[in-house]
Amino acid sequence: MDQAELIAKTVNPATPKHSYVSIRSFPTEQERNFAYGQLPRGWPHLRPRSVLIAAMGYHWAPTAWNKVIDMLLETQKQGIYVALQEIQDRCMNPYDALGTMRNEAILEAEAEGFEYLCYVDNDVLPKPDTLNRLLAWDMPVVAPLVLEPGTGKQLSGPAVQPNTGLHPAKWAVLSMLLFRVNALRSFNGMFWSDAIGADEGFHFQRLWAAAGHRPYLDSNTQLVVAGEPLYPLAANRFSPEEQVKFWQAKKDKLLRPPDRRAVDPFGPGVVEGDYMPFAVAAEAGTVPGSKLLAPANPVGWGEKRAVPAVKVEEVHRGWGQKRDIGVLQLPWDGEAAGPAATGGNPSRGWAARNPA
């Protein structure tokens, strides 16, 4: 029995005369295969396996941006509809609005129809296949194995043996976390708390109590992080002088411009010192079967405007302003698109948000 016959018998066991017709169209053959693969054990999605990578701010550790973009591009090569959004840092003081930022990512993922939401911190150094490996488990909540730099302590619990598959967990560090969006839908976009003391254990207990979901740990996939985890409540045990020094160092970091430099400053994909391989590919017309869209330049609070296609420019408009690049787009036939291809529609992420 081939796959099509198996699906037909599983999904619709009625006789042909009395069967019901369900028609779906897909922009790529890979998405069609993903969708048909879901049917025997689940329900179809508009963009199967589509994922929004939500970066918490833009305070990237050295090489972290490069690593995350390489992971995004590798995921895209598998035919997966993927986008990245740097979530605006809304903290007045360090860490006091991280919950709001994480909730904003939920709202964006829900509004744009993604099947998955992948949180990443600015200090993660993933391998190119890390996201693909997590997606392959097809779980509501899954995280890679993260070890504390210096100590090797597992930043999840209970502890597991590496390379022993998938394990249920009670908590996992939030360095990188993949959610199926519908696992968070019952919270109406307000799952995460801003309380500094509301840690991973608190939030996963809430997820279990309110939605019946727990995190799973992929012990086969280890994620390297650039720095040791921060325990803000530990600052309460510092002397007054140590507390001032500790929090001032965190505030100073927030004022630095984002570090999006490439691992190899002379390698391909570098635009004015920053790693922007999608911009280079769009300009060269070397990404067939893809549609790349860069953020439009902000012109005011909540206001966006589109800029000509295949144009890169930097905008600095004051404290805390993001630096964006121009609209870069390819149609599905891989030929470079002109300004008309953007339709004048603003977008907040470079990866394609609309099917061709």
Query: Are 162 and 86 contained in the same domain?
Result: yes
**46 within domain boundaries:** no
Query: Are 206 and 60 contained in the same domain?
Result: yes
Query: Are 213 and 139 contained in the same domain?
Result: yes
Taking only the tens place, the pLDDT of each residue in 58-105 is 999 999 999 999 999 999 999 999 999 999 988 877 778 889 999 999
Q: What angle do CA 175, 103, 208 make, to 5 degrees?
A: 75
Query: Are 224 and 321 contained in the same domain?
Result: no
Residue finishing a domain among 242, 271, 288: 242
- Cβ(109)–Cβ(115) below 8 Å: no
pLDDT of residue 356 exceeding 70, the answer is no
pLDDT of res. 237: 76
**324 within domain boundaries:** yes
Query: Are 284 and 329 contained in the same domain?
Result: yes
pLDDT of res. 11: 54
Query: Are 265 and 208 contained in the same domain?
Result: no
Distance between CA atoms of 29 and 198, rounded to whole angstroms?
Answer: 43
- Cβ(349)–Cβ(306) below 8 Å: no
Residue finishing a domain among 176, 209, 242: 242
Residue finishing a domain among 242, 271, 292: 242
Measured CA to CA in angstroms, residue 307 lies from 120, 228, 285, 298, 328 at distances of 28, 40, 18, 10, 9
Closest by CA to 24, choosing from 11, 35, 12, is 35
Query: Are 92 and 215 contained in the same domain?
Result: yes
Measured CA to CA in angstroms, residue 88 lies from 28, 59, 100, 249 at distances of 32, 11, 10, 20
- Cβ(178)–Cβ(141) below 8 Å: yes
Among 91-95, 220-224, 294-298, which is the least confidently predicted range? Answer: 294-298
Distance between CA atoms of 266 and 80, rounded to whole angstroms?
Answer: 29
**44 within domain boundaries:** no
Measured CA to CA in angstroms, residue 56 lies from 22, 84, 104 at distances of 39, 11, 10
**61 within domain boundaries:** yes
pLDDT of res. 2: 56
CA torsion angle for 8, 12, 18, 23 (degrees, to 10)? -70
pLDDT of residue 315 exceeding 70, the answer is no
Query: Are 324 and 297 contained in the same domain?
Result: yes
Taking only the tens place, the pLDDT of each residue in 263-288 is 998 888 898 889 999 776 555 555 44
Taking only the tens place, the pLDDT of each residue in 233-263 is 666 677 888 877 877 777 777 778 899 999 9
Contacts for 102-106: CB closer than 8 Å, 24+ residues apart: 102/54, 102/56, 102/191, 102/192, 103/189, 103/190, 103/191, 103/192, 105/52, 105/54, 106/181, 106/184, 106/187, 106/189, 106/191
Query: Are 152 and 72 contained in the same domain?
Result: yes
Residue 281, helix vs strand vs coil: helix
- Which CATH number belongs to the domain containing residue 171 in this structure? 3.90.550.40
Distance between CA atoms of 181 and 46, rounded to whole angstroms?
Answer: 13
**251 within domain boundaries:** no
**154 within domain boundaries:** yes
Distance between CA atoms of 203 and 192, rounded to whole angstroms?
Answer: 7
Average pLDDT across the chain, whole number: 77
Taking only the tens place, the pLDDT of each residue in 119-137 is 999 999 999 999 999 999 9
**247 within domain boundaries:** no
Domain range for 145 is 51-242
Query: Are 154 and 177 contained in the same domain?
Result: yes
Query: Are 170 and 289 contained in the same domain?
Result: no
Question: How many helices and strands, by DSSP H and E, does the chain display?
Answer: 8, 14
**249 within domain boundaries:** no
Query: Are 129 and 189 contained in the same domain?
Result: yes
pLDDT of res. 205: 95
The better pLDDT of the pair 160, 322 is held by 160
CB proximity list for 209: less than 8 A, separation 6 or greater = none
Q: How many domains does the chain have?
A: 3
CB proximity list for 27: less than 8 A, separation 6 or greater = 332, 355, 356
